[in-house]
Amino acid sequence: MGRVSKRLGVLLLSGLLCAACGGKEQETDSWLENAALDAQESPQELYEKALKEDILVVYTVSTRLVQTKESFEAAYPGLSVELRDVRSPSLIEAVEEKHEKGLTDCDVVLCNDNSGEFKQRLTDRGLVYPYRPADIEAHRKPELGGDTSSFLIEAEMLFYNSADHESCPIENLWELTEERFRERIYMPNPLNSFSTYAFCGASMQHDEELAEAYRRYAGKEAQPGEGETVSEYFWKEVADNIVFTNSSDEVVEALANGSADFGICVSSKLRLRELGYSIEPVWKLDPFVGCLTTYSVMIARDSRNVNTAKLFIRYLYGEADGKGEGFVPFCTEGTWSVRDDVEDGASVPLTQIDLIDVDQDALIGQRTHMEGFWAGIIRESGRGE
């Protein structure tokens, strides 16, 4: 859709402003000066420096990074990587806590950056910094704009159970509110999942589209309650049919075992079809199927192993030519590359999917309302995890 390509650059901008707006104190910061994040260094130069450093500690929300760790250690003998697998909310809390206590046992963070939490609490506060080597940055897709730390594009979107349905059984998002889908829709609790929170929040920025879709669905105007928006009305109605889970993994399990007709989860789960999971994405739907979600890889402030961190991030991006092994685990069905010289893992282009944008600043501004709204919905549903 046009709106995705038009605003994709804004969506994926992960907050370079932290480096520019931190004031004179940050400009003269000794760690930043020594880190030399703007220096142009070859992999060999970084490797020689990294051999003098300690074990690289990475906080990650993706288990796929295990494969990158293993191939990285094989490519660079003498270097070791320790992965700490945590959910996005816990990752942010851990980085904040370590910084407040003056601890420096985190070097790199890989986290979903689409809900506004990562930007507000880590990037804008200067607790993490982007590393963008020029030879890799030169291959960033033009529509992604300028400076960004995102290395992977996914989508939080609607899936259906393909064992029970030969094709998607609905044409309009409002059909999910119908009684036939009672407790047959699974979705991660948006208060525990950044990507789900981003989708729910983004939908509330597209009220008119939801209102128009309702007219096409019901042949009349939607009737929200007093002081209620159309999007809030939609989520209250569909919540009667939703079982809230802790993760996307639980969503795809419910789809695969027949407990669910529909599930909302991250698009990269599509790779599980290779393992026999009966899940199919909904690419087209009135008015939309989900939203873009991105992942950033950043260097933690006060990292003691900056050269190893730089080398690891280069490796994760696939090195200068994009052919390195580091990105291979992430180049799967349901993912899109940020580089113009690396093919998307997904077989369907983003422009052919009914996705909406996420305005991170708007999400940050509406966080208090969103948290109260969803806490109430989950409490009333009685089906939250």
Which pLDDT band holds residue 106 (cuts at 50, 70, 90)?
very high
Q: What is the pLDDT of residues 217-244, one digit of tens each?
A: 999 999 999 999 999 999 999 999 999 9
pLDDT at 335: 96
pLDDT at 284: 98
pLDDT at 241: 97
Q: Architecture of 154-291+357-381 per CATH?
A: 3-Layer(aba) Sandwich (3.40)
How confident is the model over 271-288, as a mean pLDDT?
Answer: 96
Which pLDDT band holds residue 146 (cuts at 50, 70, 90)?
very low
User: What's the CATH fold of domain 9-152+292-348?
Assistant: D-Maltodextrin-Binding Protein; domain 2 (3.40.190)
Q: What residues contact 279, with CB distance under 8 A and at least 6 apart? A: 159, 160, 161, 162, 252, 255, 256, 263, 269, 270, 272, 273
pLDDT at residue 23 above 70? Answer: no
How confident is the model over 360-382, as a mean pLDDT?
Answer: 91
pLDDT at residue 178 above 50? Answer: yes
pLDDT at residue 198 above 90? Answer: yes
How confident is the model over 312-334, as a mean pLDDT?
Answer: 96
pLDDT at 144: 58
pLDDT at 223: 95
pLDDT at residue 32 above 90? Answer: yes
With both helix axes pointing from N to C terminus, report the angle between 367-381 and 194-203 in degrees, rounded to the nearest 10: 100
| Strand locations in the chain (E) | 56-60, 81-85, 108-112, 128-129, 150-161, 185-188, 242-245, 262-266, 279-281, 290-300, 336-337, 355-356
What the block records as the tokens of 300 is 């933690």
Q: pTM of the entire structure?
A: 0.87
pLDDT at residue 87 above 70? Answer: yes
Q: Which residue has the higher pLDDT, 190 or 10?
A: 190
Which pLDDT band holds residue 208 (cuts at 50, 70, 90)?
very high
pLDDT at residue 203 above 80? Answer: yes
Q: Does the N-terminal peptide bond of residue 130 adopt cis geometry, omega within 30 degrees of 0?
A: no
Mean predicted lDDT score pLDDT of the chain:
90
Where, residue-wise, is CATH 3.40.190.10 in the chain?
Answer: 9-152+292-348, 154-291+357-381
pLDDT at residue 2 above 60? Answer: no
pLDDT at 6: 42
pLDDT at residue 130 above 90? Answer: yes
Q: How much of the chain exceeds pLDDT 70, in percent?
A: 90
pLDDT at residue 18 above 80? Answer: no
pLDDT at 148: 55
pLDDT at 380: 86
pLDDT at 147: 45
Which pLDDT band holds residue 381 (cuts at 50, 70, 90)?
confident
The pairing of strands 185-188 and 355-356 is unpaired
